[in-house]
Amino acid sequence: MSSPHSPAAVSNFIRTIIDGDLASGLHKSIVTRFPPEPNGYLHVGHAKSICLNFGLAQDYQGKCNLRFDDTNPEKESEEYALSIQEDVRWLGFQWDGEVHWASDYFDDLYAFAVELINKGLAYVDDLTPEEMREYRGTLTQAGRNSPYRDRIVSENLDLFARMKAGEYADGAKVLRAKIDMASPNINMRDPAIYRIRRAHHIRTGDKWCIYPMYDYTHCISDALEGITHSICTLEFEDHRPLYDWVLDNLSIACHPRQYEFSRLELHYTITSKRKLLQLVNANLVNGWDDPRMPTISGMRRRGYTPEGIREFSKRIGVSRSGNSVDMAIMEGAIREDLEARAPRVVAVINPLKVTITNFEGASTREADFHPNHPEFGKRFVAISSALVIEADDFAEAPPSGWKRLTLGGEVRLRHSYVMRCDEAVKDENGKVIELRCSIDHATLGKNPEGRKVKGVIHFLSCEHALPAEIRLYDRLFTVAEPDADKEVDFCTYLNPDSLTVVQGWVEAAVQDAAPETHYQFERLGYFCTDRRDHQPGGKLVFNRTVTLKDSWTKEAGSL
Ligand code: ATP
Ligand code: MG
C-alpha cells in the first residue's frame, strides 16, 4: 500500500493508547476496521473515520479491515456496498485481504446466541414492541422485568430454534440478553439481540428470517477478526458496557477495546446518510454524487482531491470534544493541494466583447502552465482583434484604487500587451456591450515607456477560445447548522442559489482534457472537468471546485 500519510503524523489520544499498548506488549501490532452499513453513500464524516482507521493501520504497520455491517437487510444494497469500496480506494486506502461482512458471521452469531441461552444469559421474549418500550423504563425510572424473563433454558432453546425456523410472524418474538432491567444505562436493560424479519438480504438471500442486532453483531465481528482497537463515534460510548458484556460472557479469546471520538460536523452541510438520502429521493440534488453533496463521491466530482481530504482530516484532528468544523478548513486544504497540482489556464465566465482597433490577424505567445512548475510545460496563448474579458474587469465609474479597466485607462492583458480602453459601446438601455480598445505594440514582454501599468486582466481571443459549460457551486444550505433545530425541517434551509450554470469560454489548451482533470482558471478559482458530462474534444463541462482565496497578487506585475 502506498503511504499517503506524512511520516510526522499528528498525535491524538488514540495514538497515545496504541503507543502504550505496543510498549506494554499488550499487542504486537494493531488491527483496526472501518465498519460502514451499506445503506447509503459515504459522506465527509466517514472520510474522517476512514482516514483515522486506515491511517493508523498504515502508520503503525498494522492492518485495517473493511467490514460491512449488513444486519438491516431492508435498507442495504449492492450499489451502496460497491460505492463504499470505490470511495475507500479513491481516498487512497486498501483494506487488508477480502472485504468482510457481518453476514459472514451469521452462523457464528447464532451459535453464540445459543451459548448465551445455555448460560442463562439470554431469553426469548413475547412482549409486543409497545410493551417492551413500556417495560424498559426511562432515564429516571428503572425498567421492569418481562414476564417471560424467567423462561428456562430448554424452553428458550426451543423457541429460538423455532424463531430461526420461521414459525413466528415478524416482530412476534425477540431474543434478549438477560442483563439488568434496573441498570442506569438503558442499553443494558435486557437489549434485544435477535429479531424476526422476513427480508431478502443482499448476501444471504432468504436463508435467514431472524437477524442479529447491531450492538450484538459488532463486538463479535470485531473479536472474530482479531481487531485490537475498535474505534467509533461518541454516540456509542453508552453502548460500550454492552460491547464488553457480550464478549465477557462468550467463549471468544479475543476482546477488542472500543474507543470513541467525536463525530465530524461540517458547517453549511449535513453529515447524516438518512438526511442525504432524503435530499436524493426528493430530487433536491442531482443524485448522491451531486457536487454540492458532502458525500465522498460528490466531493470527488466537484474536484476535491484525496490528498486534500486526507490533509483536511489531519488538520481537524481526533478528540472527544465537539468537532464542528468550518468549511474554510476543508476549502483551505483543497486549495493548497490544487495550488501545487493544477495547471493554470484562462477561462472567461461572464464575457464582455473587446475589439482591438489597432491589431490585425492573430499572434500567439508561449506561456507556462504553472509559474512554479516548469515541468507542467507550456501552451500558446493567442491574441487577435476580437477578444472577451470578464465583464466585471471593466468599470465606467470605478471605485478608488481600481486597477482594472476603465475608460481611458490601461491594463496589461495577461501574457500579452498593454491595452487602453478608448470607448465603451452601449445598448439602448445603457448597458456596456462592447469595449473598443487599442494596444501598445511596444509592450509585449516589456514595461511601457514612461508610465506604470498596475492592473493585469485575463482575456481570450474569440476565434481561438472554446465554449464550455461552467457550473458554479455555492453552499448547499444557508445556515451553518441546518439540522440543529429539531423543530424545523432542514430542507427549508436549502440554498436556492447553490448551483449556477453559465456558458463561458476556455482556452483551447483544455480541449482534450480527460474527465476529472484539475485546472486553475486564473483569477477565478480551481475547476475540474466533470466526471459524467464532460467529453474530451466535445462538450466541455467544468465544475468549480473552490474559489481562489486572493486573485493573483504576486504575479500581478508579470509581463
Ligand atoms: P450516518 O448517521 O450518516 O448514517 P453512521 O454512523 O450510521 O452514519 P455507518 O455506516 O454506521 O454510518 O458508519 C461507519 C463508520 O463511520 C462508523 O464507525 C461511524 O462511527 C463513522 N462515522 C459516521 N459518521 C461520522 C462522522 N460524522 N464523523 C466521524 N465518523 C463518522
Ligand atoms: Mg449506522
Residue pLDDT, tens place only, 517-550: 999 999 999 999 999 999 999 999 999 999 998 4
Confirm if 103 and 109 have CB atoms less than 8 A apart: no
Rounded to whole angstroms, how far apart are CA atoms 100 and 80? 15
Atom 16 of ligand 1: nearest residue by CA position: 46
The CA R_g of the chain, rounded to the nearest whole Å, is: 31
- pLDDT of residue 551 exceeding 80: no
Pick the catalytic residue: 37, 307, 410, 522?
Answer: 37
Which CATH topology does 105-212 take? Glutamyl-tRNA Synthetase; domain 3 (3.90.800)
Closest alpha carbon to 497 in 468, 476, 470, 482: 476
Active-site annotation holds for 134: no
What's the 39 CA to ligand 2 centre distance in angstroms?
A: 8
Any idea which ligand is nearest the CA of 37? 1
Mean pLDDT, range 361-386, rounded to an integer: 95
Atom 22 of ligand 1: nearest residue by CA position: 46
Rounded to whole angstroms, how far apart are CA atoms 544 and 537? 20
pLDDT grade for 4, boundaries at 50, 70 and 90:
very low
What pLDDT, on a 0 to 100 scale, did the predictor assign at position 8?
59
Q: For ligand 2, an ion, list residues with CB under 5 A.
A: 37
Pocket flag, ligand 1, residue 159 (CB < 6 Å): no
What pLDDT, on a 0 to 100 scale, did the predictor assign at position 6?
47
Q: What is the DSSP string of 454-469?
A: --EE-EEETTT-EEEE
Atom 13 of ligand 1: nearest residue by CA position: 36
Atom nearest to 40 CA in ligand 1 = 4
Pocket flag, ligand 1, residue 403 (CB < 6 Å): no
Atom 18 of ligand 1: nearest residue by CA position: 232
Sign of the CA dihedral 135, 137, 143, 144? negative
Pocket flag, ligand 1, residue 270 (CB < 6 Å): no
Mean pLDDT, range 265-284, rounded to an integer: 96
Active-site annotation holds for 263: yes
Atom 23 of ligand 1: nearest residue by CA position: 46
The residue whose grid cell reads 472537468 is 529
Q: Could you read off the pLDDT of 482-493 as tens digits, one per residue?
A: 999 899 999 999
Any idea which ligand is nearest the CA of 230? 1
- For 466-555, the fitting CATH number among 3.90.1150.10, 2.40.240.10, 3.40.190.290, 2.60.120.470 is 2.40.240.10
Mean pLDDT, range 294-319, rounded to an integer: 97
Q: Could you read off the pLDDT of 122-154 as tens digits, one per residue?
A: 999 999 999 999 999 999 999 999 999 999 999
Pocket flag, ligand 1, residue 48 (CB < 6 Å): yes
What's the 73 CA to ligand 1 centre distance in angstroms?
A: 18
Angle, alpha carbons 220-222-227 (nearest 5°) = 145
Rounded to whole angstroms, how far apart are CA atoms 189 and 504? 63
Pocket flag, ligand 1, residue 49 (CB < 6 Å): yes
| Residue to mutate (ligand 1; options 48, 49, 318; most atoms within 8 A of CB) | 49
Rounded to whole angstroms, how far apart are CA atoms 479 and 466? 37
Pocket flag, ligand 1, residue 272 (CB < 6 Å): yes
What's the 220 CA to ligand 2 centre distance in angstroms?
A: 17
Q: Could you read off the pLDDT of 322-370 as tens digits, one per residue?
A: 888 999 999 999 999 999 999 999 999 999 999 999 999 999 999 999 9
Confirm if 293 and 279 have CB atoms less than 8 A apart: yes
Domain 351-461 has CATH 1.10.10.10: no
Any idea which ligand is nearest the CA of 258? 1
What pLDDT, on a 0 to 100 scale, did the predictor assign at position 3?
43
Where helices occur in 179-239 by DSSP H, the ranges are: 214-224
Pocket flag, ligand 1, residue 313 (CB < 6 Å): no
Active-site annotation holds for 144: no
- Please state which architecture CATH assigns to domain 13-98+217-262: 3-Layer(aba) Sandwich (3.40)
What's the 133 CA to ligand 1 centre distance in angstroms?
A: 26
Closest alpha carbon to 266 in 226, 299, 302: 299
Pocket flag, ligand 1, residue 46 (CB < 6 Å): yes
What pLDDT, on a 0 to 100 scale, did the predictor assign at position 53?
98
Whether 466-555 and 351-461 are alike in CATH topology: the answer is yes
The residue whose grid cell reads 483496526 is 32
Q: Could you read off the pLDDT of 313-326 as tens digits, one per residue?
A: 999 999 998 888 99
What pLDDT, on a 0 to 100 scale, did the predictor assign at position 393?
97
Any idea which ligand is nearest the CA of 40? 1
Any idea which ligand is nearest the CA of 264? 1
Residue 159 C-beta-side C-alpha neighbours within 13 Å: 23
Percentage, residues of the chain above pLDDT 90: 94
Q: Could you read off the pLDDT of 154-173 as tens digits, one per residue?
A: 999 999 999 999 999 999 99
Pick the catalytic residue: 178, 195, 273, 310?
Answer: 273
Pocket flag, ligand 1, residue 264 (CB < 6 Å): yes
pTM: 0.94
Closest alpha carbon to 507 in 273, 323, 344: 344
Domain ranges of the chain: 13-98+217-262, 105-212, 351-461, 466-555
- pLDDT, averaged across the chain: 95
Residue 359 C-beta-side C-alpha neighbours within 13 Å: 25
Atom nearest to 38 CA in ligand 1 = 10
Amino acid (1-letter code) at residue 186: I
Rounded to whole angstroms, how far apart are CA atoms 510 and 103? 48
What's the 531 CA to ligand 1 centre distance in angstroms?
A: 26
Pocket flag, ligand 1, residue 35 (CB < 6 Å): yes
pLDDT grade for 432, boundaries at 50, 70 and 90:
very high
Rounded to whole angstroms, how far apart are CA atoms 313 and 551? 27
